[in-house]
């Protein structure tokens, strides 16, 4: 019996998940949960670093109090954000949050130094204002005092691991979200660092998922009551950990990490950086075992979640019942249209989109919900088609992981739209991937497949969905 602790921190909350491997099967238990709050400091949105550190310490204390003999602990978080540390080893201020608007317009400014086409050719990463590259560019342009004095720049999971061990490293998967790595060499691009006025020494030693960073420092051992437990670099980017938990057999599959936002992609041996991939806005991020997560971001359940805010958080089961009573494909839209990114009212944005595209505006909750489900499934088909064009392997099925794996109706619609089997589960994929990287089992995916429940959806009513897709393309062109 082997036991591990996964610290999984998202943009709103974090959890401590105990993983137990016994007889070739994995079981998990949540032993800690804590908020991750964005705080306002000096006019900027920041992360509360002290609160996060204390929450991790509290989770480790729980392990000690329960006398659980863990082999190791690993930390994963969201991507792109980082903490600045001085020569004395102390963090210099709370890290900026990617939601802070200080990077607005920064990509265009940076492209005056290094053209956009060259940045994509080097990194293979899609352009988003909040990527680390543009955060650092904005700080440098503003002559930020902390950055000027910083000795080390550590991405969030690496910063927390450093506070536990005293060793400063740079885990590959989290670094790959920064848009500063050369996607072919898997190291920082000297050209991009030079454009930022930075050196390679500003970042820790590059390590791969599964590397032992060190053990809990004497101070942390005293705080928690634990001994010299190993701290491992897992797939530090939460999506990389989630993809590591896909219970797939073979390699000819795509995955859809489904939640508020969706990410559809494949695991590739090498980066895919072409004019076509850039035009389709695909990105190349690091995965486990030296793989590349070639994927595209898609709006997920964000649209419905924002509608539910206006409707008083009505239950999903009732909304699905109401949606199934509505006309199929009566209203279709591109879920990734810019007007849906952060509207004051999502229902108003959907109505405006419908009127602008010559469709009737929805009136009932069921109409909105049906339109969202139909449109998401058809958007998934579109991206799946692009993925098949670009992928070096045949793609025969789609694995849906994350919270969206619970949505059986959307899973069925997705199978109908794609025309391939859709396998849903597990839901707790990020923590599972984190744990399995710590365990370093040879047949990791086989163990996951034997330990979790999945459900397979096969395509139905193919001709109707083919016709609906043609309508979707006409409306969203």
Residues involved in catalysis: 238
Cα 404 to the center of its chain, rounded Å:
13
Half-sphere exposure of residue 464: CA atoms within 13 angstroms, side-chain side: 11
Two tokens at 367?
């109409």
Rounded Cα distance, 356 and 199, in Å = 49
Sign of CA dihedral 231, 234, 238, 242: negative
Query: Is-contact 386 264, C-beta < 8 A?
Result: no
Strands 422-424 and 397-401: parallel
Query: Which single residue is written with the structure tokens 């550590």?
Result: 154
Contact 62, 31 (CB under 8 A): yes
Task: Say if residues 96 and 138 touch (Cβ distance below 8 Å).
Answer: no
Give the pair of three-digit tokens for residue 408: 């059986």
Distance CA 182, CA 190 (A): 9
C-alpha to C-alpha distances, 32 to 60, 240, 273, 289, 464, nearest whole angstrom? 9, 22, 41, 29, 47
Would you state the torsion angle of the CA atoms of residues 3, 79, 293, 185, taken in this order, to the nearest 10 degrees? -100
Q: At 274, which helix (H) or strand (E)? A: none
Q: Report, in angstroms and rounded to the nearest whole number, the Rg of the chain calculated over CA atoms.
A: 22
């Amino acid at each position: 019996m082997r036991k591990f602790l996964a610290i999984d921190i998202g943009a709103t909350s974090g959890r401590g998940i105990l993983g137990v491997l016994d007889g070739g099967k994995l079981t998990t238990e949540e032993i800690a949960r804590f908020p991750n709050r964005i705080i306002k400091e000096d006019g900027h949105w920041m992360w509360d670093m002290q609160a996060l550190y204390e929450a991790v310490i509290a989770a480790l204390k729980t392990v000690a109090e329960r006398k659980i003999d863990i082999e190791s602990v690993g930390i994963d978080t969201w991507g792109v954000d980082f903490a600045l540390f001085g020569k004395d080893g102390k963090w210099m201020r709370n890290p900026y949050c990617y939601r802070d608007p200080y990077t607005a317009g920064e990509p265009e400014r940076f492209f005056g130094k290094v053209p956009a086409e060259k940045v994509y050719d080097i990194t293979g990463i899609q352009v988003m204002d909040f990527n680390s590259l543009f955060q650092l560019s904005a700080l440098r342009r503003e002559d930020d005092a902390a950055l000027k004095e910083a000795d080390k720049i550590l991405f969030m999971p690496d910063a927390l691991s450093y506070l536990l061990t005293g060793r400063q490293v740079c885990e590959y998967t989290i670094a790959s979200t920064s848009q500063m790595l050369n996607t072919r060499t898997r190291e920082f691009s000297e050209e991009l660092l030079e454009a930022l006025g930075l050196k390679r020494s500003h970042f820790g030693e590059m390590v791969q998922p599964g590397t032992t960073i060190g053990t809990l420092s004497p101070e942390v051992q005293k705080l928690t009551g634990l001994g010299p437990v190993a701290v491992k670099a897992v797939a530090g980017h939460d999506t990389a950990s989630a993809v590591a938990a896909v219970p797939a057999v073979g390699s000819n599959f795509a995955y859809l990490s489904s939640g508020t936002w969706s990410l559809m992609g494949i695991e590739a041996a090498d980066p895919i950086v072409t004019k076509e991939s850039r035009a389709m806005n695909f990105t190349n991020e690091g995965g486990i075992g030296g793989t590349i997560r070639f994927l595209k971001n898609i709006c997920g359940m964000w649209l419905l979640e924002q509608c539910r805010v206006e409707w008083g958080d009505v239950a999903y089961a009732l909304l699905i019942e109401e949606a199934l009573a509505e006309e199929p494909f009566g209203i279709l839209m591109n879920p990734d249209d810019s007007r849906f990114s952060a509207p004051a009212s999502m229902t108003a944005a959907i109505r405006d989109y419908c009127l602008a595209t010559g469709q009737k505006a929805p009136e009932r909750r069921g109409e909105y919900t049906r339109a969202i489900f139909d449109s998401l499934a058809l958007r998934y088909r579109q991206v799946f088609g692009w993925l098949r064009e670009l992928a070096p392997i045949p793609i025969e099925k789609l694995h849906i992981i994350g919270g969206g794996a619970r949505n059986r109706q959307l899973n069925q619609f997705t199978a109908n739209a794609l025309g391939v089997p859709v396998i849903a589960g597990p839901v707790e994929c990020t923590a599972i991937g984190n744990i399995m990287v710590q365990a370093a089992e040879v047949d990791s995916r086989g163990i996951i497949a034997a330990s979790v429940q999945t459900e397979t959806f096969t395509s139905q009513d193919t001709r109707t969905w083919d016709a609906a897709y043609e309508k979707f393309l006409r409306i969203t062109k």
